[in-house]
A and B are shown apart, each in its own frame.
Chain A
């Protein structure tokens, strides 16, 4: 093993599950013993060669990893047309939308379900917003013959019908959550409540790099396969690392997965793109880092959208997957130390990027990475032609065509 570098940004979290001031284990005593059990099991799994080999086998033969690195040549040329002479960075996509189930979520789900089996758990629960994590969890549970219950806000059940049906086909039970605003945060509350009541046999499969320690670390570690592959593929394609990484940030799992292996590569700039919804200066956005402030929710200290009295406010985004009032604690830390720059893209900008990507590259992206792409469209023309921007295309847009059609005023 390499000795940890004294100046490395890749050593977190500490023994309390903190990244700087962020993270931790802010859960009720009823949950605390379970969290500690998961932590212990995960620490053992990390060192268990058979566990790691089985996860890698599934990634290769079931998910289809490594996902390709794609030089988006037409999009690059398209942006250069309107850029000043000599400007217009090369744009690459890390194509995690080609994974089985259509997004990066499956990477961490397979790791977690293997862990649940190792822990002797016989029932899996999960929360989902857009439905991607729910579909991934339902898929892994079908494969591994485990009952699966997915909590989903009633509002999201309405707007993500295709994924609800997918989960049912896969044998999962989708439980609509009507408390609160009936979106992702309420689904997460309900998942935690179920877990407390069914501790003896249940594993809670969290979909992002949030929640109590060890979830932010564990999900990041599993998702880091994205950045590890990208690093190697970039070296093979260009003989060097990219100049900038761009990824969408809701809870932030695809972004952490891409960023983490590059954190100590000081020349690589990193940009996380939050959902600005109808605009950062309206009340309808999901930009916890840009417009929120630190607080405690769902087991961790992190940036949150909240009012002056510490009540959590509703997030808004056209993308159900970004519609969450918090963000993973490691992102909060990377934001505060300035290692990652966090910006935002509006619903409108994401819709434009969604359409442009479809036409220029023949790839219909999910609305989540369409936010990342919206920022790439702004930044690439301001960079010289020899610069390289790598974006995580973390999900495909099949699930979003109804939403997009509605916004474009088309009936399908």
Chain B
């Protein structure tokens, strides 16, 4: 069983949803980025999503756009991000790692080589934002050959007719986008989540994580109860950004601020299980 499947099975066995966190690689520099990533499992993270910076992140809001710019300024490249994952894997064997990014840097690196090198570095899954199922034939065989899951977004706009096609092209878990919009710009409408997830579950046995509108521990707890996991990204990126000095450099507060926020999210998700039980 893959690391992703194992981890969702474990959290399910514990009667709770999984906590998925997103942070951009090299934000604000490689060393700080690595220190945060290494601290995530202990803070209670189940799946580590790492953003691969791109100059033109068209599905992301201002916070993650700026994180990507900081990462690029700090020298993030595709080989650099893979090297960061290798460094993380040196101390963390079990927590699944998912790379989230846009297609062009992967194309420039070479799709075949990228899938092989990512798997070798310890990556478990990919979210390539701008490769929908319609264009996935050039990625799928290489991802599959290297045991990489291709995680897909399902949007509120994805209708019933289209759903089977998207689900059929998804492995690992489903990333349910809880808002119509870009990352971090709105809060999810929690009343509508339960029926939407129930509808999704009629079509798939894969775990479903909810993301794009989750900021607070309370919201994360609701999402992780309604679905199989909650993804928190922008809220963490904002916290990180808030600790930087005037020149955008990390301070002594950066790592602890992010990790303590993550711990708060993890506690809320675990507490939600106890209440439910």
B180 touches A196 (CB 8 A): yes
A189 within 8 A of B: yes
For residue A297, which residues in chain B have a CB less than 8 angstroms away from its CB? 56, 104
Q: Which residues of A contact B65 (CB under 8 A)?
A: 179
- Min Cβ gap B271→A in Å is 31
* B15 in contact (CB, < 8 A): no
Report the interface size class on chain B. Answer: 35 or more
Q: For the complex, give the distance between the alpha carbons of A306 and B109 in Å.
A: 12
How many chain A residues sit at the interface, stated as a range, is 35 or more
> Shortest distance in angstroms between A228's beta carbon and chain B's nearest beta carbon?
31
Residues of B contacting A: mostly: loop
Contact A312 B104 (CB under 8 A): yes
Q: Which of B57, B58, B105 has most chain A Cβ within 10 Å?
A: B58
- Contact yes or no, B129 A180, CB < 8 A: no
In Å, the complex CA distance between A34 and B158 comes to 9
For residue B126, give the distance in angstroms from its CB to the closest CB of chain A.
Answer: 14
Contact A24 B135 (CB under 8 A): yes
Please report the C-alpha to C-alpha distance between residue A193 and residue B129 in the assembled complex, in whole angstroms: 13
Map CB proximity to A onto B49-62 as digits: 1 under 8 Å, 0 otherwise.
00000111111011
Kindly state whether residue A133 has any CB partner on chain B within 8 Å.
no
- Using known A-B contacts A33-B157, A189-B56, determine if residue A196 contacts B134 with beta carbons closer than 8 Å: no
CB pair A309–B157 under 8 Å, yes or no, is no
Q: Mark A172-208, 1 if CB is under 8 A from B, else 0.
A: 0000000110000110010011001111100000000
Are A193 and B107 neighbours in the complex by a CB distance under 8 Å?
Answer: no
Indicate if A29 sits at the interface (CB-CB under 8 A).
yes
Verify B72–A311 contact, CB threshold 8 A. Answer: yes
B78 at the interface (CB under 8 A from A): yes
Q: Is B177 close to A, CB under 8 A?
A: yes
- Once A29-B154, A30-B177 are accepted as A-B contacts, the answer to whether A310 and B56 lie under 8 Å apart by CB is no
Most buried by A among B65, B130, B186: B130
- Known pairs A29-B154, A196-B180; A179 contacts B166 (CB<8 A): no
| Number of A-B contacts defined by CB within 8 Å | 116
B166 touches A29 (CB 8 A): yes
0/1 string, B27-58, CB within 8 A of A gives 1 = 00000000000000000000000000011111
Q: Is the CB of A147 closer than 8 A to any CB of chain B?
A: no
Q: Whole-angstrom distance from the CB of B52 to the nearest CB of chain A?
A: 10
B131 contacts the other chain (CB 8 A): yes
Known A196-B182, A197-B182, A310-B107; contact A185-B158, beta-carbon cutoff 8 A? no
Contact A185–B153 (Cβ < 8 Å): no
Q: B108 at interface (Cβ–Cβ under 8 A)?
A: yes
Q: Is the CB of A180 within 8 A of B55?
A: yes
Question: Are B130 and A26 in contact, CB atoms less than 8 angstroms apart?
Answer: yes
Please state if B130 and A308 are interface contacts (CB–CB under 8 Å): no
A25, A30, A180, A197 — most chain B CB neighbours (10 Å):
A30
Instruction: Give the residues in chain B near A180, CB-CB below 8 Å.
Output: 55-56
Closest chain B CB from A128 CB (angstroms): 17
Q: Enumerate chain A residues within 8 angstroms of B72, measured Cβ to Cβ.
A: 311
Specify the chain A residue showing the minimal Cβ separation from B76: A309
Which residues of B have CB within 8 Å of A25? 132, 134-135
Q: Contact at A28–B130, with CB atoms within 8 Å?
A: yes
Q: Which residue of A lies closest to B157 (CB)?
A: A33
Per-position binary interface string of chain B over residues 100-118, scored 1 when its CB falls under 8 Å from any chain A CB and 0 otherwise: 0011111111000000000
Q: Can you list 23 A-B pairs, Cβ within 8 angstroms, ordered by A?
A: A25-B132, A26-B103, A26-B130, A26-B135, A27-B58, A28-B58, A30-B177, A30-B180, A30-B182, A32-B158, A33-B158, A34-B157, A179-B65, A196-B181, A197-B180, A197-B185, A197-B186, A199-B157, A295-B108, A298-B56, A308-B108, A309-B78, A309-B109
Q: A32-B157, A180-B55, A186-B56 are in contact. List 12 more A-B contacts (CB 8 A).
A: A24-B134, A25-B135, A28-B129, A28-B132, A30-B59, A32-B134, A32-B155, A193-B61, A193-B182, A198-B180, A297-B104, A312-B55
- CB-based closest 10 A-B pairs: A310-B108, A197-B181, A310-B105, A30-B155, A29-B153, A28-B59, A310-B104, A33-B157, A309-B77, A312-B55
